[in-house]
Structure 1
Amino acid sequence: MKKCIRRSLTTHSLMHFITASVGLPNFSEFLGVLAVDGVNVVYCDSSSKTFETRQDWMETAFKNNTQLETYKNFCFKNQPVIFRSMIRSLRELFNQSGAHFLQRTGGCEWDENTGEVTGVIQYGYDGEGFIEFDSKTLTWTTLKPEAVILQQAWNKEALITATAAIVTAICPQRLKLYVSTGKSFLQRKVLPSVSLLQKSPSSPISCHATGFYPHRAMMFWRKDGEEVHEGVDHGEILPNNDETSQMSVDLNVSSVTPEDWSRYECVFQLSGVEDSIVTKLNKRVIRTNGMKNQTGVPITVAVLVLVLILIAVIGFAAYKKKKGERFK
C-alpha cells in the first residue's frame, strides 16, 4: 500500500478527469468527468453527445453565468480536437500506430481555513504518467524522457501564465461557488461502520471503515493515547458505488504481546464531526476467514453445509455461484 498523505480535513477540491482515445472500437473518443470534493457533478461523452449534470444543485451553480456553455464547448468542440492532435503527435514521437489513449487529471485544492490553493495538472499516455504541472514552481516537469519536447514548448512564459491562471485563480473561484451552492449536500455527514479484519493469524490487523461521507477523513492506530507509526501501513481512501468512501489502516501485531493488545486502538476521524470513532484492539471482535458465529460453529463450516444443501436443492450450477466467498 501507498503511504497515506494526511491532508487538512477542511480541504475542498475541484477536479476534472479526461480520457481521449484513437483507434479503440466501441469506446468513446472523449470522456470527461467533473468532480467536487470527490462527487461527480458533470459527465460528458463527445461520441454520444451526452452531457449530464449529476447533482441538482449544480443547475443552480450554473445559473447567471456562462460556465455551463463553457463546459459543453470544452467537451464537444475544442478539447476533443486538441486531444486527438496530441495523440497523433505522441504516436509519431514513439513511432507507433494502432489504438492509444491520453488521460488528463486537472484542477485545484483549496483549504478553507488557511486559504491555501494547490493546482494539479497531469497527463498520462497509455496508462503511464507523462508530464505534469508544478503549481509551486510554475513549471512543467517530465515524467517520461520523451516528454521533454512538450516541456520545452509548454514552459514558455505566455503558456505558463495562462496555465497558472487556470489552476490558481479560475479553478478556486469556481470551486468556492460550487462548495457554497452545494453546501447542504457536500457538507452532510455520514459515519462509517468500522471493523477489525485479519486474513490469517500471522497477518496484520486491518482497521477498515466503509460508508462514510465526505471522503475527507483520517484513520490511525494509537497506543496509550499516542499515535503509532512503526508497523503501521495506511491505505488510500477509495470510493464506494454510492458516493461514500472506504479506507483502512493496518497494524503489524507480530511483536505485540497478548497483554499489550488492550493498549492499542484504532481511531477514525471524519471532517466536521467532533467525536472520533474509537475501536479497541480486541481478539474477540476481529473478523477472520476462520471466525465463529454466535452458535460457535466456524463460519467456514457453516458455509460448507450451506453449499451442500444448495447442491442438493438447485444443483451444481448454484454451488458454483455460492462458493468462494471471503473477506476483502
Structure 2
Amino acid sequence: ILNALFLCLITIEHSIKCLFLTVTHSLKYFYTASSGIENFPSYVSVGLVDDVQISYCDSRTNENIPKQDWMNKVNSEYPDYWKEETETCLAKQQLLKDNLEIAKLRFNKTGGEHIYQQMYGCEWDDETGKVKGYDEFGYDGEDLIRLDPKTQEWIAPKPQAVNTKHKWDHDRNAVDHEKFYLTQTCVEWLKKYVNYGKRSVMRTVRPSVSLLQKSSSSPVGCFATGFYPDRAYMFWRKDGEEIHDGVEKGEIKPNNDGTFQMNVDIDLSSVATGDWIKYECVFQLSGVNEDMTSRLEKTRILTNEPNITNVIIPVVVAVAVLGLIAVIGFIIYKKMNGEKWIF
C-alpha cells in the first residue's frame, strides 16, 4: 500500500477524459502501528477527505482531533463525535499493535524496525453516483492482503497472509457488514464531510508554474505547485500538439497546506536550441476553463548551473505533514465492529 516509511502519497492516474467529465470524492483512513523506530509514535491514525487531512490521532496524545475548522461542524449533529473518535483511536491502536506482532512472527522477523498499515475508505462520483470501497493492509512497505471490491473476497499477495484470507473469506457476516459499510455508510459520511467543507473541498486554486533545469544537459522540468483540487493534468506540446517521446510525468503529490504539486520533464538533448521556442508546458485544472501555458524560453528556465543568474531555490517536497500523519486515521470506523479483523 505504501512504498515509503510513514509516508502516504496518494497517487491517482489522470486523463483529460476523467479530469473534466467526472468529479470523484474520496474518504480515506490510514492506520500505522510501528515498532523499533525511535522518536516516532508507535501508532498514528489519519483521515482525509479528497486527500485533505481532516483528523489525527497518535499513541502519544491518545486523542483524535479535527485538522480542519469545518470538521467542527459535525458537533452540531453529533455532540459526542470527537469523544467517540478518541475511543476508536484507542481501540484501533491496540488492534493494530496486536496485528503487527502477529505479522512479525509470521515473517520470522521480530527484531529491528517494522510497520503494519491499513488503508480503508470509499470513493463516490457525485455525477454518476458510482461508488467504490477499499480495504488494504501492508507490512513493512509491501502489500499484505486486500479486499477485492467486486468479488468481496480477500486477495493475499504474500503467502504469510493466505491463512488470514481463508479465515476472513469464510466470515460471511463480517464480509457482508463491511460491504454495507464501504458502499453505503462510508458514502453517507463522505457526503456529510463534503457538505461541511464545500467551500474548501470544492474550491479551485491555480498553481504557480516554473521551468526548472539542474544543468544544461539535464531534462527541462515543468513544475506546478499550490493547486487544488488534485484533478489536474499537465503535459508538453510542440506546435500545438501534445507530445509523449522523451516526456516523463511525475505523480501528483500533496503539499503540507492542503494543496498539491506535480511535474512533467522533457528531454531536449537532441533538439536544437533554436527550436525550443516551439515547445510549451500546459497545465489544466478541473473547474478552470483556461489552460495555463508556459512557453519554453531559455530566459525563463531556473537552473542550478554555476555562474548563471537564475538559480533554483531549493524546492521542498511538502509532504511533512503527511509524513508525520503517516497513514492513518479512521474517523467513522466506529460505525462498524473492527475487532473481527484480527490478522
TM range (shorter): 0.7 to 0.9
Instruction: Give the CA deviation at 1:247.
Output: 0.7
Contact 1:30 / 1:75 at 8 angstroms: preserved in 2?
no
Q: With the length of structure 1 as denominator, give the TM-score of the two structures.
A: 0.81
Residue 29, structure 1, aligned to residue 33, structure 2: no
Secondary structure in 2 aligned to 1:147?
helix
State which drifts further: 173-182 or 280-289.
Answer: 280-289
Is the contact made by 2:64 and 2:82 (CA closer than 8 Å) also made in structure 1? no
Distance 2:57 2:127 in 1: 33
1:225 pairs, out of 231, 236, 240, with: 240
Change (3 A) 1:203 1:23: closer
Q: How far 1:26 sits from its partner (Å)?
A: 4.5
Q: More displaced, 88-97 or 227-236?
A: 88-97
Distance 1:283 1:23, change over 3 A: closer
Larger radius of gyration: 1
- Pairing partner for 1:100 from 107, 114, 119: 114
Whether the aligned pair in 1 keeps the contact of 2:46 and 2:57 (CA below 8 Å) is: yes
AA matched with 1:268:
F
Q: Quote the residue 2:143 is aligned against.
A: 129
In structure 2, C-alpha distance between the alignment counterparts of 1:5 and 1:236, rounded to whole Å: 8
Structure 2 counterpart of 1:197, from 207, 212, 215? 212
Contact 2:62–2:86 (Cα < 8 Å) also in 1: no
User: Do 2:119 and 2:137's aligned partners in 1 also have CA atoms closer than 8 Å?
Assistant: yes
Q: 1:327 to 1:272 in 2, by over 3 A?
A: closer
In the alignment, is the contact (CA less than 8 A) between 1:289 and 1:326 conserved in 2?
no
Return the TM-score normalized by structure 2.
0.78
Is the alpha carbon distance of 1:111 and 1:71 closer, same or farther for their aligned partners in structure 2, counting shifts above 3 Å? same
Alignment of 1:127-166 (within 5 A): 127-156=141-170, 157-166=172-181
Structure-1 separation of matches of 2:37 and 2:62? 18
| Offset, 1:290 | 2.5
Q: How many angstroms apart in 2 are the aligned matches of 1:215 and 1:21?
A: 29
- Counterpart position of 2:28: 15
Q: Partners of 1:26 and 1:262 in 2: how far apart?
A: 51
* TM-aligned CA deviation for residue 4 of structure 1: 6.9
- Identity, % of aligned positions: 43
Matched, 1:279 2:294: yes
Aligned partner of residue 76 in structure 2, secondary structure: coil
Aligned to 1:317: none
User: The residue matched to 1:274 in structure 2 has which SS?
Assistant: coil
Q: Is the 8 A contact 1:12 1:111 kept in 2?
A: yes
- CA distance 1:232–1:12, change in 2 (3 Å): same
Q: Secondary structure at the match of 1:63?
A: helix
Residue of structure 2 equivalent to 1:266: 281
Q: Tell me by how many angstroms 1:19 deviates.
A: 0.9
8 Å contact from structure 2 (residues 63, 86) kept in 1: no
Any stretches of 5+ residues in structure 1 without a counterpart? 292-296, 304-323
1:327 Cα offset (Å): 6.5
1:179 deviation in Å?
A: 0.7
1:299 matches 2:303: no
Higher relative contact order (CA 8 A, sep 6+): 2
Q: Contact 1:289 / 1:299 at 8 angstroms: preserved in 2?
A: no
